[in-house]
């Protein structure tokens, strides 16, 4: 249930509605909007009787929420969410380019790539310090040292950094260094991790589970919002199918569906979907064409020597070309639709 307050509702009236919701054993969640405040009702076991609140001063409407997710839904929050990160904003009105290596391997590697991608027009730098690897014998990331390198990259280049948190135990540490905390495909339903992310003040980049439906993905985001952190960026990164011409199948239809269902920004990671370099640029162009809010792409200056995902990493000059193409597609689309 969503209680929509009148545009002229006073704070006193809002407080009274909040108190009344609590008196019924329910959880009120005020949602400030451009024009008016709405109050979402959470923790109800079944349908809520709107007439309990409709008579209260300042209440304009009581709308049943038909989706399993609430805080992430457009029903509850019709306006697009914009997420400021340093001097950029992720969400409608801009195309955010995130680029960098799969893993931070050394200071020299990270700085070299960061300088390249910055010059090409990247808005944010990515790089894993804690790597989720299929094999325990593969490079697992530099851990804390990787985070320190990321901090140095930020200082040197001015780029904000995105990095993955693998587990609850290291959340505090990653949170201290990251500007955006990534939760990877394998952890999309790690509910303790999601709840912890919900207590953070940092934006969370939530990747889609490789076998997750859109409902499951949005419910995972709901965990984060329900703990109080509404700065969630969704990232489509491909799902597991029967094909073997790519590592995963990029589900571009997720972009319009998610944009319809949710106010949260959605970006696309073509690198982990493709798993191979030759598909990354075409998939990126398509992702911009379906109006994703951004791209996250793996780039390496010496991919043949990369400690992970070299085969899907773009060369810096390819990324530069991609930035030009992506921005041109984006600008064309907006020239037509605005
Ligand atoms: C990554 O972005 O480094 C990564 C491991 O991606 P995913 O969780 O999508 O596999
Ligand atoms: Mn990778």
**What is the pLDDT confidence band of residue 134, given thresholds at 50, 70 and 90?**
very high
* Contact by Cβ (8 Å): 289, 257: no
> Residue 30's domain spans which residues?
2-63
Evaluate whether residue 78 is within a structural domain: no
149, 216: one domain: yes
**Lookup: tokens for 154:** 């930020």
**229 and 268 co-located in one domain:** yes
185 in contact with ligand 1, CB cutoff 6 A: yes
Of residues 266, 242, 315, the one with CA closest to residue 96:
266
What residue's CA is closest to ligand 1, atom 3? 102
Q: What is the pLDDT of residues 13-23, one digit of tens each?
A: 999 999 999 99
| Whether residues 229 and 298 fall in one domain | yes
Mean per-residue pLDDT, 242-255? 97
Does the pLDDT value for residue 47 go beyond 90? no
Looking at 19, 34, 63, the residue that finishes a domain is 63
Q: Where are the alpha helices (DSSP H) in 99-177?
A: 107-120, 144-157, 171-177
Residue 217 lies in a domain: yes
Does residue 124 share a domain with residue 18?
no
- pLDDT for the residue numbered 120: 98
CATH number of the domain that 34 lies in? 3.30.70.1140
Residue 168 or 65, more confident: 168
Encode 6-18: b = buried (16+ Cβ within 10 Å), e = exposed: eeebeeebbebbb
List pLDDT tens digits, range 175-216: 999 999 999 999 999 999 999 999 999 999 999 999 999 999
Question: Looking at the structure, do residues 13 and 109 belong to the same domain, yes or no?
Answer: no
Same domain? For 211 and 280 the reply is yes
Q: How far is the CA of 298 from the centre of ligand 2 (A)?
A: 7
52 lies in the same domain as 121? no
Q: Please tell me the number of the ligand nearest to residue 126's CA.
A: 1
For ligand 2, the distance from its centroid to the CA atom of residue 132, given in whole angstroms, is 9
Domain shared by 59 and 104, yes or no: no
Question: 317 CA to middle of ligand 1, Å?
Answer: 23
State the chain's mean pLDDT as an integer: 96
The alpha carbon dihedral of 139, 141, 142, 144 has a sign of negative
Give the pLDDT of residue 43.
83
168 plus 121 within the same structural domain: yes
Phi, psi of 198 (to 5 degrees): -70, -20
Q: Per-residue pLDDT averaged across 159-170, rounded? A: 98
The pLDDT score that the predictor gives to residue 336 is 56
In a domain, 183, yes or no: yes
Number of domains in the chain: 2
Would you call 133 helix, strand, or coil by DSSP?
coil
pLDDT at 247: 97
User: In 108-127, which positions are buried (b, 16+ CB within 10 angstroms) versus exposed (e)?
Assistant: ebbebbbbbbbebbbbbbbb
Would the CB of 208 count as within 6 Å of ligand 1?
A: no
Judge whether 246 lies within some domain. Answer: yes
Out of 110, 185, 270, 313, mutate this one to test ligand 1's pocket (max ligand atoms within 8 Å of CB): namely 185
Q: Do 38 and 118 belong to one domain?
A: no
* Nearest residue to 296 (alpha-carbon basis) of 232, 207, 193, 168: 207
> Is residue 30 in a domain?
yes
Q: What is the pLDDT of residues 250-285, one digit of tens each?
A: 999 999 999 999 999 999 999 999 999 999 999 999
Reported as half-sphere exposure (CB side, CA atoms, 13 A), residue 46 has a value of 1
Same-domain status, 57 and 89:
no
pLDDT band at residue 338 under the 50/70/90 scheme: low
Using CA positions, which residue lies closest to atom 8 of ligand 1? 184
Interval 161-169 mean pLDDT: 98
Instruction: Check pocket membership of 184 for ligand 1, CB cut-off 6 A.
Output: yes
pLDDT greater than 60 at residue 114: yes
* Distance in Å, CA 271 to ligand 1 centroid: 9
Q: What is the pLDDT of residue 46?
A: 83
Cα gap 239→188, rounded to integer Å = 13
Rounded to two decimals, the pTM is 0.94
Distance between CA atoms of residues 26 and 70, nearest Å: 14
Among protein residues, the one whose CA lies closest to atom 6 of ligand 1 = 184
| More reliable by pLDDT, 291 or 338 | 291
Please indicate whether residue 275, judged by its CB atom, sits closer than 6 Å to ligand 1: no
């Amino acid at each position: 249930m969503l209680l929509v307050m009148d545009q002229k509702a006073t704070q006193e009236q809002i407080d009274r509605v909040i108190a009344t919701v609590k008196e019924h054993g329910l959880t009120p969640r005020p949602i400030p909007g451009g024009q008016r405040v709405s109050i979402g009702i959470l923790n109800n076991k079944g349908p809520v009787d709107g007439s309990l609140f409709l008579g209260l001063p300042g209440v304009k409407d009581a709308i049943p929420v038909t989706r399993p997710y609430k805080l992430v839904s457009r029903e509850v929050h019709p306006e697009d969410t914009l997420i400021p990160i340093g001097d950029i904003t992720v969400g409608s009105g801009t195309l955010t380019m995130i680029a960098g290596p799969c893993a931070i391997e050394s200071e020299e590697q990270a700085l070299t790539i960061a300088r390249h991608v910055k010059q090409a027009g990247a808005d944010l730098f990515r790089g894993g310090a804690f790597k989720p690897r299929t094999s325990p014998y593969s490079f697992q990331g530099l851990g804390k040292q990787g985070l320190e390198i990321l901090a140095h990259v930020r200082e040197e280049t001015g780029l904000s950094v995105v990095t993955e948190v693998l587990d609850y135990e290291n959340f505090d540490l990653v949170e201290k260094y990251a500007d955006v905390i990534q939760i990877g495909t394998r952890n999309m339903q790690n509910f303790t991790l999601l709840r912890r992310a919900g207590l953070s003040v940092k934006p969370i980049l939530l990747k889609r589970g490789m076998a997750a439906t859109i409902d499951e993905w949005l419910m995972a985001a709901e965990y984060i919002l329900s703990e109080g952190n509404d700065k969630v960026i969704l990232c489509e990164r491909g799902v597991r199918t029967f094909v073997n011409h790519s590592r995963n199948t990029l589900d571009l239809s997720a972009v319009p569906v998610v944009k319809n269902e949710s106010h949260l920004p959605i970006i696309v990671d073509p690198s982990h979907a493709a798993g191979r370099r030759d598909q990354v640029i075409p998939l990126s162009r398509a992702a911009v064409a379906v109006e994703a809010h951004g791209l996250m792409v793996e780039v390496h200056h010496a991919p043949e020597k990369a400690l992970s995902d070299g085969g899907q990493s773009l060369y810096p000059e390819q990324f530069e070309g991609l930035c030009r193409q992506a921005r041109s597609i984006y600008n064309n689309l907006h020239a037509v639709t605005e």
